[in-house]
Every structure is written in C-alpha cells, then in structure tokens.
Amino acid sequence: MITTRARGAVFLDVEGFALAAVERERLLHPQAGGVILFERNFESPVQLRALTASIRALRTPPLLIAVDHEGGRIQRFRQGFTAIPAMRTLGEQWDQDIAAAARAATGLGWTLASELRAHGIDFSFTPVLDLDYGRSAVIGDRALHRNPNAIAHLACALAAGLRAGGMAAVGKHFPGHGFVAADSHLEIPVDERSLDAIAAADLVPFGALVQQGLEAIMPAHVVYPGVDGEPAGYSRVWLQDILRRRLGFDGMVFSDDLGMAGARGAGDMIARADAAYAAGCDMVLVCNDPEAAASLLERWQPPPRTELARRAAAMQGRAPSGCPV
C-alpha cells in the first residue's frame, strides 16, 4: 500500500539488488527523501527497473532516486547502458572544435538522462564543474577542462541534453574541489585561496549554470579559510551569502555524503546533519553506514523548510523529449 507522506530531508542508500524489509521500513520514515544507488545495486537492466519501481511504489510523492553516473570511471551501471566517456574528453574536443564539443556534450547529456530515466532514475549527480588544476586525483579527468569558460560552455550544453532527456542537472562540487590535492573521502582538504581568486575562476561555471536555471548544487567538503572556517557544506557564508544571494541560486542543495572524512569535523552524524541543514543544505546524504542512517532518522528533527517540496519536485524525472542534436 502506498503511504502518502511529504518527502523528508535525508537521502539514503540500500544494500543490494532488491529492498530488504528493514530498508522498506526505513524508506517509509518521514525524514526519508530519496535513495542514491550504487554499482552494488545493479545486476541487470531488468533488475534495476524492478528495484526503482519498488522504491517508487512505497509512497507518494515518490522518493527521489539518484545515482552518480558521470561517465568515465564514475559510471555505476554498465551492462545495457552506453559507455559515457570521461568528461575530460569533451574538454579536449573543445580545444579543437568548440561547436562540435558543445554538440557532443548535449548528445551525451541526452543519452545519459534518457537511459537512466528509462530505468526509473530521476537524476544523476552531474555535471562536475570543478576546474582541472592537475592537482586533484579524485577529480582528475572527471573535470571538463582547466579553463572556466570552457567548463561553463560545455556544462551548459550537457545540462541542456540532460533536460531534453527528462533529467535535472546537479552542479558539483561548489565552490570548487579541483585546486586541492587532498581527497575529501579520506581527509579534510584545505584551499587557502582568497574569495577573489576563487570567484575569478572556480565560481564562473557555477554562475553560468545558475543563470541557465541549474536545478541543484552539491557543495564540497573543503575548507576555504580565506572565506570561512567551516567546510563549504557547513558554511552559511558559502551557501547563503555567496550561493543564494550573490549568485542568485534558488534550487536544491544536496550535501555530499556525510560519512566522508571531510564531513567528520562537525561531530557525530546528528551534528553533521544539523550543521549541513543549518548552513543551507536542503537534503543530506548518508551512505554506506546503515546504523548511522537509522540513528539519524530516529533522532534528527530538522525544522520544516517550506522550499523543500518545490525544490524536490524540480528534481523529479520527466519523460524524455527528442534528442536536441
């Protein structure tokens, strides 16, 4: 039986190819807002469609279903899906033929979105808007280019393809993860640059996509002490003053996974969720730690956010239209 319940503010994961009974109960919790899928949740296209249908059938409005499916080394589903190249290949093409690279970006966006939508996925956490400074192995060829204008051009084209394929776009990792070598999965990276330096380069793609109607953003677990002492995902300066007011962004803000090392400075999972939500994240991700997820659902009581329903509705997948290229 479908439960009628507004979406909550917690994005969860599940363990296998089908929902376990305990996972069904967890996803019915009022604080649950969506599910992020991983490679471990994919056995075949048929199985994936059954899994997403079972998640969607639990409640109305349905939980959002997402995946990290960028292309290259970050593509969770392979069998039966087009192999999306690493985004750097678009940047390399841009250096040779700007118009052709933009067309290719739009076509890849449509392919990515239409295939995921056909399998019940609402959106992918893409595009990566980080600059490739040649320092960050965790970003590396996930970045489109070193030139912020090239990234802005290609990412806008990619987002147009995503939308034509029925899918919202999520820009990450605000305000830019590419300058630091440290991997926020393993430690807390620190970027010592000034706000002026970051704004002149790393913020350019984010600003361009916001102007084009970007639906969502994911902040980085990176500290920028020249701007604020908190990581961007816990910082009202970054998320309210700069993202909302300076850039004019009015879409969804997803935290990055609160289980990552870069998020642990705030304390336990409740404290991390409190810090992210107070800073301006609309939804918080808790991955690969079912005990922490269960504890968060039972103990966390964030104040209602009136914008959540509207922002979440914008992330709901739509039927693909014709490929625009």
CA distance 172 to 260: 16
Annotated active-site positions, please? Answer: 185, 256
Cβ contact 165:113 at 8 Å:
yes
Closest to 35 measured CA to CA, from 61, 8, 67, 58: 67
Alpha carbon dihedral 263, 266, 267, 270, in 10-degree steps, equals -90
Spell 21-31 as b/e; 16+ CB within 10 A means b: eebeebbebeb
